[in-house]
Amino acid sequence: MNSLSEDPSVHRRACPLCEGMCGIRVKVEGERVVAIRPDFDNAFSRGHICPKGTTLGDLHHDPDRLRRPMIRDGTQWREASWEEAFERIETLVHGVRERHGQEAFAFYGGNMSKGGFDTARYTALLVREGRFAQRFSSSSVDQLPKNVSNFLMYGDMWKMPIPDIDHTDLFVILGGNPAASKGSIFSHRDVMGAIKLLRARGGKVIVIDPVRTGTAQAADQWIALRPGSDAALLLAIVHVLFAENLVRLKHLAGQVNGVDEVRAAALDYPPERVAGFCGVPADVIRTLARQIAAAPRAAVYGRIGTCTQTFGTLASWLVDVVGALTGNLDAAGGTLWSTQVAPHLALAPPYPTNAPLLGKPNRVRGARGILGQYPASCLAEEIDTPGPGQIHALVTLGCNPVLSAPGSARLDAALPLLDCMVCVDMYLNETTRHAHVILPALSPLEQPHWDVWSWPFSLTIGGHYAPALFAPEAGRPEDWRVLARLGSIFGGQPEADLDALDDAYFGAMCDQTGIARNIAFAALPQRGARRILELCIRTGPFGDRFGEKPNGMTLQTFIAQPDGLLLGHAEAQGPAAIKTPSGRIELAPPHMLADLPRLEEAMAATPPDLVLVSRRHIRSLNSWMHNVDTLVRGKERCTLHIHPQDAARLGLADGDVAEVSSASGRLQVFAEVDDGIRPGVVSLPHGWGHGGPGTRTQVSAQHAGVNINLLSPGSLVDEASGNAVLNGIPVHIERATAP
């Protein structure tokens, strides 16, 4: 217990920055945060924290953080009232609609559209009302392959199998580095701590990654495969399971379709055949397959390195196939689905389960829509290529695609062509500098908190609510109204009655729950995210169902528990959880099998000499926490990691400037010679490249770094999902002669 705990000036909440959900104690004097400490009493995190969590005060007080709407007149920005900002948006939108019609409107939702209390719950309303002809999101630079695989295998794109690390005997992790990321689509109080405990109880951890990451260093074994070859390696594992009669469906027997098709598909992939392509000896692959089969309980988990690569969809699918064939899917100690106190996604599914996977081809590249969106890689060309259907107006929410999406240079050049660009964001950064109007997002401390996007990925069942610590600026509309009004303007209904919209939105959620609208409306008069949260809790598995279950929970239950409340651990869900048309798990979706010839082509091709992968750092968060001085101070982190053999071959010494080029761009960066990386692979962190003209982030401008996505060609996508290829990019490296 720390000395802050009894102090009335100490406010308890949780950090919203990543999936760690760390409890924090925020000590306040007047309007200032004076200290943030870990909350050892927080039920979920029990004092675990990382360096970012203590900087929410710096973020809140950051003089560069936007607090009022900004309007750009030519090259000049000025603060404006909310009313004037909306009027300007209306005028711009009206002009675009008159000239080009609704088909010119697009939306891009970023990683931080999940961050805010209202934003996480009202982005769907903004998108629906906005009637945007093209929708993009950071999903297609992230987990879209997993969404595709879940959609086809389980009938629900967000039904993410989560490794049961606390009960497993063997944890196999492909393309994830929780030592830096803290875990992703895998929300756990302390993954690295759990890895230690797992090994202490005699279990094993195997990391499959081209880089010897902090996670690999904490594991029993590091398998340094070639980037982009996971699908082949996993097919070889499946091959061995069948060839050596190691398939044990266990509880899944009779619940899966497609076992024979999977067997047939893997027949061509004995370990000896994929070893060269994967850069992993055949006996290592064979042993791995046997270990997974022999472990009483094994959890196989793939993350961003298996998604943002050429065969992300195949790899995501095969991770789950291996789990199913060894009886480790939907099983304690294997992977499980979460049980949520407030199952928000069930009431507001981002994409209908009965809709088709693929949509219409888009205009320039003919890429099919996937799960309701187009690949982020296509945004630039849809803006800069003239013709009917060209994008002329764009809304961005919580994203910085000029740094985070591939083909950055083209996007950076395309955005100024827009006739109307509206950004909802906290900073004037590389992307928002092109906006006509920026609407400021709230600071995390100015809003209540209950995590919409982490509890669904946590096997610990629980809930944690915190009220806002500071009041937003006077005169600021509630956040849900900002989003609803923005949607209405873009959808051509600028005068829409926002209260009526909210009632219809909320009413539709009530209908999903079987609770009569009039009961929910009478019990929850307060509008906005709070009543949605309350509906989710009260109709969720522990809720009171508005009196039907007298001892059930309400939001009040959690308000009374400022350190949060835990309610147990997820269990296997059985066949009832599967939402496919057949009611069974589909192990061999035709969409996946149809992608195998593309893998064959890659296996037959000559591999590139040098490829680039991305990395994360604990003191950074994608593109936007670099304006916090305490996080960026110290040794330069935006460096090129390169193996000594490659460095020697290229005549590069530690600290030299390397010139790195790819099919899409070129940049110069300091080299850091490091043997913790596979020869032939180099790595750079993502989210850097600050300080460009027109940006207003004083601190990050001093620690600019380089933008890795100048090197990621927009043309490189995993075709089965449209996901961007951000790992395994062929590059050429020389020692820079004139830096």
Nearest distance in Å: CB 308, ligand MGD: 6
Distance of CA 263 to the CA centre of its chain: 32
| DSSP state string for 155-192 | S-TT---EE-TTT-SEEEEES--HHHH--SS-B-S-HH
55 binds, among Mo ion, ligand SF4, ligand MGD, none (CB under 5 to 8 A by kind): none
Site string for ligand SF4, 7-46 (x = CB under 6 A): --------x-xx-xxx------------------------
Q: Give the torsion sign (CA, 499, 504, 507, 509).
A: negative
687 binds, among Mo ion, ligand MGD, ligand SF4, none (CB under 5 to 8 A by kind): ligand MGD
12, 37, 52, 485: which one contacts ligand SF4 (CB under 6 A)? 52
Phi, psi of 17 (to 5 degrees): -75, -40
- How far is the C-alpha of 720 from the C-alpha of 69, rounded, in Å? 40
Nearest distance in Å: CB 408, ligand SF4: 25
Decide whether 305 or 728 has the Cβ nearer to Mo ion.
Answer: 305
Decide whether 357 or 621 has the Cβ nearer to ligand SF4.
Answer: 621
- 299 sits near ligand SF4 (criterion: CB under 6 A): no
Decide whether 116 or 155 has the Cβ nearer to ligand MGD.
Answer: 116
69, 176, 323, 334: which one contacts ligand MGD (CB under 6 A)? 176
CB-based burial, 546-583: b 16+ in 10 Å, e otherwise = beeeeebbbbebbeebbbbbeeebbeeeeeeebebeee
- 715: which residues sit within 8 A by CB, 6+ positions away? 377, 407, 663, 664
- 194 sits near ligand MGD (criterion: CB under 6 A): no
Decide whether 62 or 478 has the Cβ nearer to ligand SF4.
Answer: 62
Kindly state the number of chain residues that form the binding site for Mo ion, as judged by CB under 5 A: 1
- 309 sits near ligand MGD (criterion: CB under 6 A): yes
- 250: which residues sit within 8 A by CB, 6+ positions away? 327, 331
Q: Of residues 197-256, which lie at the interface with ligand MGD (CB under 6 A)?
A: 208-211, 213, 225, 227-228, 230
- 614 sits near ligand MGD (criterion: CB under 6 A): yes
Decide whether 69 or 398 has the Cβ nearer to Mo ion.
Answer: 398
15 binds, among Mo ion, ligand MGD, ligand SF4, none (CB under 5 to 8 A by kind): ligand SF4
CA distances from 290 to 246, 247, 294, 296, 351 (A): 8, 10, 6, 12, 38
CB-based burial, 312-337: b 16+ in 10 Å, e otherwise = bbbbbbbbbbbbbbbbbbbbbbbbbb
Nearest distance in Å: CB 152, ligand SF4: 31
306, 313, 335, 721: which one contacts ligand MGD (CB under 6 A)? 306
- How far is the C-alpha of 315 from the C-alpha of 440, rounded, in Å? 38
Tokens found for residue 77: 């920005």
Of 49-57, 236-244, 395-403, 670-678, the segment contacting ligand SF4 by CB under 6 A is 49-57
**Nearest Cα to Cα of residue 18 among 190, 231, 153, 183:** 183
- 321 sits near ligand SF4 (criterion: CB under 6 A): no
Kindly state the number of chain residues that form the binding site for ligand MGD, as judged by CB under 6 A: 64
Distance of CA 241 to the CA centre of its chain: 32
Decide whether 565 or 625 has the Cβ nearer to ligand SF4.
Answer: 625
Asked if residue 653 lies in contact with residue 674, where contact means CB atoms within 8 angstroms, the answer is: no
CA distances from 33 to 36, 56, 715 (A): 8, 9, 46
Site string for ligand MGD, 555-594 (x = CB under 6 A): ----------------------------------------
Nearest distance in Å: CB 440, ligand MGD: 8
Kindly state the number of chain residues that form the binding site for ligand SF4, as judged by CB under 6 A: 11
- 487 sits near ligand MGD (criterion: CB under 6 A): no
- Distance between first and last Cα of the chain: 52
**Nearest Cα to Cα of residue 377 among 148, 715, 726, 730:** 715
Q: What is the dihedral of CA 330, 335, 340, 344, to 10 degrees?
A: -100
- How far is the C-alpha of 579 from the C-alpha of 576, rounded, in Å? 8
- 624 sits near ligand MGD (criterion: CB under 6 A): yes
53 binds, among ligand SF4, ligand MGD, Mo ion, none (CB under 5 to 8 A by kind): ligand SF4
| DSSP state string for 648-712 | HHHT--TTPEEEEE-SS-EEEEEEEE-SSB-TTEEEEESS-----TT---HHHHHT----GGGSS
Decide whether 121 or 584 has the Cβ nearer to ligand MGD.
Answer: 121
293, 426, 565, 706: which one contacts ligand MGD (CB under 6 A)? 426
Tokens found for residue 113: 């559209």
20 binds, among Mo ion, ligand SF4, ligand MGD, none (CB under 5 to 8 A by kind): ligand SF4
Q: Of residues 76-135, which lie at the interface with ligand MGD (CB under 6 A)?
A: 110-112, 115-116, 119
CA distances from 165 to 162, 255, 298, 301 (A): 9, 24, 9, 10
CA distances from 215 to 4, 173, 205, 459 (A): 33, 9, 9, 21
Tell me the residue number closest to ligand SF4, measured at CB. Answer: 53
58, 142, 446, 544: which one contacts Mo ion (CB under 5 A)? 142
Alpha-carbon Rg for the chain, nearest whole angstrom, is 25
Residues engaged in binding ligand SF4 (CB under 6 A): 15, 17-18, 20-22, 49-50, 52-53, 182
Residues engaged in binding Mo ion (CB under 5 A): 142
Residues engaged in binding ligand MGD (CB under 6 A): 18, 110-112, 115-116, 119, 138, 141-142, 174-178, 180-182, 184, 208-211, 213, 225, 227-228, 230, 303-306, 309, 397-401, 404, 424-427, 429, 441, 613-618, 620-624, 686-687, 708-709, 712, 726-728
